[in-house]
Chain A
Amino acid sequence: MTLPGLAADPGEGDVDGIRDLALLFRDRAGAQRGRSTSSQTALSALSPVSAVSVDALRPRITVLAARFTEVADAADEAAGVLEGYADAVADLKRRAASALADAESDYADIATRRSAALNAASEFVVGWALDWDDVLPSWLYLDDPSLLDRWQGAIDDYRSSRAAYNALRDERDHLDHDTAARLSGIPLVATITQDGVVGAAGFVAATALWAGDTDDVTAGQIAALGDPALVRQVWDSLDRAERDALIAAGPEIIGNLDGIPIADRVSANRLNIEAEIDAREAEIERLEALRDAALENAYHSHGAIEQEYDDLIAEQQRLIDSYEGLLTQEVRVTDESGVSHVEIGARVVVFDPSLDAIATYHGPIDPVTGDIPAWVESVAISVPGTGSNMTDFGDGRAADLQHAAGRRSAVFQWAGGAFPQSIPEAMSTSYSHDLAPRLRDFAAGIAIPGSASLTVLGHSYGGATVGLAEAAGLRADRVLYVAAAGMGDGVSGVADFPHTSEVPHYAMMSRNDLVVGLIQGREGDLHALHGQSTLTAGGVTRLETGWIDASDPGSDDIEDHNVAGNGTPSAIDSHSSLYTPGSTSFENMVAVITGGEAELFAEDEIILAGGRPITIDGIDRDDYEPTYVEVG
């Protein structure tokens, strides 16, 4: 009989099976204690030995013995939890059986009372309209009203016994969650999983790290740790040969894994780039074969067919040329003492064509750690904007910024995913939502020297991406929005940022920016395309874009500077000429990165001339004197 409204069986499970599971863990605990004893006995056996080489083994054996005991304790604790769970489930089974019997009896009684109240004819006439818990209205009932009362009483009794049964189900649910929490709280489990940070996929590497046996971990297992700090711990536990083997076996993982040192990511990505070049060359061969076959079989339009394939082949060759350029790029590196030398090959720290992801590093690399040297004081991550892709992502800007910021600086140029390639595509916020968590994780995986600052700057669509990354938990010491489309879809201000709401924020944009100037949301406008405007947000300091040559006030304002030969007016050029080395805007970027002095935005002046209002750019006012802010 199916009883209405009855919950699932509170006594689900096999008590004997649960006790068998407890016994399994008890057996394991015993075995591990035995191994601990064996280790301690080995240590005792070596105690009479006097030799330096044995002295080095003693702590390892001691740790091993302790670790066996930890596992034994964990297994014993799990067994204890399971034994308690078995007892509780057994008790629930017994009480549930009794409660179910009561409910079944009470439910059967409803039918009895209903039959007593309604004769067959009445049941036929009105019974179809009555649910199991309905009683015929008294005004319709012509017989003894006490029969209706008993009928209702039976329904009420069933509701009570059903509630008692369902309460046991609630008790079981509570027991299950409590048991699960106790199991997850076993000290060894909490230690290895870092209190739940490491998911099941990362157990192998996390346990290997805990046990001190990382020799056989794979790149995939390290990646499954999901936490850059843990990834770094495992990586640091490996020797050079083991790291090189992992790079050779899994370059596509190691080259893109947050937490791996820069030098090793660069080595892995060199392999990835070479492999991608090989793949593009194979694609060219395939296209050439298809072209030749198509031409052979075509009766007409040979020219069009050839052009179609040649265009595809040219695109592949363009990619190859770009990737080879990364491998042969000359990189000037300056060490702490100021001595420069040239290295061959861009420092590619992200390279994943399947995600359209690429990032490069500009700055010194510590030969021992393979990472940013401890003497570097300023680190920056620069995010480009619309139009960025794997062959054109503003790498040169990062080089310019790092060169201008000095040898104690390091700059990453990060385009870790697909960016919109046109203005219409940039109307979509989906790219920024996909990029934001990746930017956050990339920043989290950088080993910033202890006393160095991290500045994250984003240009145009990249600015909105930076804002969304902040909303997603990005950690940085300073943020700079450069002609940003906004602070990110749905972002209303710095208060939305869990870790950067209190850090200095800066913004700059030319006064006549036609690319993003027209989509800037007004203050408090949550529905602007890419969120709150960086120019009017509370807590964001606007900096001056100034002149194309900061040292020459007589040079073009950024707003008036027209880049020769590109066919676009200054109002379009001013969106990107901010990155011109030596310009006021560029100098301000460097100031934010290095913590120097940045020129504040000069408010425009509106005058009346010939009865018409005319706006004079702040820096063009007769009385203009630049004011500065010390970057915090």
Chain B
Amino acid sequence: MADVEFSDSDFTEAVSHLRDAGAASVDAFCVAFGALGSTVVESALGDVDALVRQAMAALAGVGGDLSVDVGTVHTELRGLDAQMAGADG
């Protein structure tokens, strides 16, 4: 069937990389904003930090969802492939 062409390794590799992209982010170390010595800078950096962390978490979620969706598509295509193989006898 010319419309669908794939190999299992394509999908397993894609899923693996998307799982890497979707892994939870962990900061290597913690630092205190008090080191800045300025409440003005602390407030601004606090916002940047919160947004970056939120963005990292949200994107990890998207990566995880995509890895699941790719896996689902792979399963469906394998099922379709099996059907076609059975129909061809």
Contacts and interface: CB of A to CB of B under 8 A. Distances in A.
Interface in A62-88: 64, 67-68, 70-71, 74-75, 78, 82, 85
Given A71-B52, A207-B54, A53 B76 contact: yes
A38 B19 CA distance: 9
B21 A45 contact: no
Interface centre among B47, B59, B60, B73 (most CB of A within 10 A): B59
Given A180-B40, A180-B43, A18 B35 contact: yes
Contacts of B51: 74, 188-189, 192-193, 203, 207
A159 to B, nearest CB: 27
Interface residues of B, number: 54
Interface in A142-174: 172
Interface in B12-64: 13-18, 20-21, 25, 27-29, 31-38, 40-41, 43-48, 50-52, 54-56, 58-63
A38 B25 CA distance: 14
Contacts of A527: none
Contacts of A64: 21, 59, 62-63, 66
A212 B33 CA distance: 30
Interface in A30-62: 31-32, 34-36, 38-39, 41-43, 45-46, 48-54, 57, 60-61
Interface centre among A31, A52, A215, A216 (most CB of B within 10 A): A31
B73 A27 contact: no
A31 B52 contact: no
Contact of A189 (B43, B47, B59, B70): B47
Interface centre among B11, B37, B62, B76 (most CB of A within 10 A): B37
A179 B44 CA distance: 9
Given A28-B27, A68-B59, A71-B52, A176 B21 contact: no
A12 B35 contact: no
Contacts of A215: 61, 65
Nearest to A30: B28
Contact of B6 (A42, A49, A74): A49
Interface residues of A, number: 70
**Interface residues of chain A: helix, strand, loop or mixed (majority):** helix
Given A12-B38, A35-B21, A179-B44, A211 B55 contact: yes
B87 interface: no
Nearest to B22: A35
A204 interface: yes
Given A13-B37, A38-B21, A212-B62, A78 B6 contact: no
B48 A189 contact: yes
A211 B62 contact: yes
Nearest to A21: B31
Given A24-B29, A53-B76, A200-B47, A68 B21 contact: yes
Nearest to B54: A207
A194 B1 CA distance: 49
Given A207-B58, A210-B55, A213-B65, A89 B37 contact: yes
B88 interface: no
A424 interface: no
A26 B57 CA distance: 17
B74 to A, nearest CB: 9
Nearest to A24: B31
A519 interface: no
Nearest to A14: B35
B85 interface: no
A18 B35 CA distance: 6
Q: Which 5 A-B pairs have the closest CB atoms?
A: A13-B37, A17-B35, A12-B37, A211-B58, A180-B44
29 contacts: A12-B38, A14-B34, A14-B35, A17-B31, A21-B33, A27-B28, A28-B25, A28-B27, A39-B21, A45-B11, A45-B13, A46-B10, A49-B10, A51-B4, A51-B6, A51-B77, A54-B70, A71-B55, A71-B56, A78-B45, A78-B48, A179-B40, A179-B44, A183-B44, A189-B48, A204-B54, A207-B51, A208-B54, A215-B65
Given A183-B48, A215-B61, 12 more contacts: A11-B37, A49-B11, A51-B5, A53-B77, A57-B69, A60-B62, A64-B62, A74-B51, A183-B44, A193-B51, A207-B54, A210-B58
